[in-house]
Amino acid sequence: MSEDALLAPGRTIAPGYEVVAHLRRGRDLDVYDAWSYERDCGCVVKALRPERRGHRGARRRLRDEGRLLAQIAHPHIVKAYELIERPDPVVVLETLDGETLERMIERRERRLGLVDIAYLGIHLCSAMHFLHGRGYLHLDLKPSNVISDYGQAKVIDLSIARAPGCGRRGIGTAQYMAPEQVRGARLGEATDVWGIGVVLFEAATGRRPWPHGLKADLNGGGVDARPSLRSLRRVPAGFARLVEGCLELDPGSRPTVREVSDRLEAFAA
């Protein structure tokens, strides 16, 4: 599709919102930096790509994300200002001044310190504990969906968040999916614990535990062993065991969100 289909700066993207710049394009969505005349401030607007406006699934996912974010308020989850449902769904979000964890990992010459990683994990646990309490799973925790905003980790992109239960095979991002996501098995709070573990592993080492995801390994008959964090970076054995415990293939063998948070508190201290 031509870049000409993108809204140019100065165009109105929704009543009261003017495009400042295009930020990124996904499979279904365009994300814009925009100006809110009512609030007299900048914001982020998620809108359907022009050719996806008639796609029922894409419309539903964007509406569902907007409705969910409008119901919740948490210091470690991006805040939604507004959901505009007609003529096409548009979600208006707060502007975050930080950078994604993915970008931070890429640009830094040295890895994040253990205390910083511990606080990152604590913030993610706090967000997931709250989200789970509201009856939802995130299901797509990864460094590009975490923004560091003045030392505070904030989770973004709740587009596939849903209630626990049997999942559709392959829902999520291939390189970060838990085994139960790959198989289309039952999804629960342990699925987001896997996501926390993957994020902490990559933050600590600069590498994903399974660079290409689990799909090929599982289809080939199973995974022999989870990756060793200490083979990539010298960290306390207890920290490595905690992160690797989040990556147990059996969801029932993973620690709970609360247990992960409590153990990370000791490293943060």
Compute the radius of gyration of the chain from its Cα atoms. Answer: 19
| List 140, 149, 192, 250, catalytic entry | 140
**Who contacts 97 (Cβ-Cβ below 8 Å, separation ≥6)?**
149, 150
Dump the DSSP string for 70-129: HH---TTBPPEEEEE-SSS-EEEE----SEEHHHHHHH-SSPPPHHHHHHHHHHHHHHHH
Distance CA 158, CA 180 (A): 19
Answer yes or no: 140 catalytic: yes
Q: Extract the tokens encoding 6.
A: 């993108």
Beta bridge partners of 14: 17
For 185, half-sphere exposure in the C-beta direction (CA atoms, 13 angstrom radius) is 12
In single-letter form, the type of residue at position 13 comes to I
Bridge-based pairing of strands 152-155 and 165-166 is unpaired
- The catalytic residue positions are 140
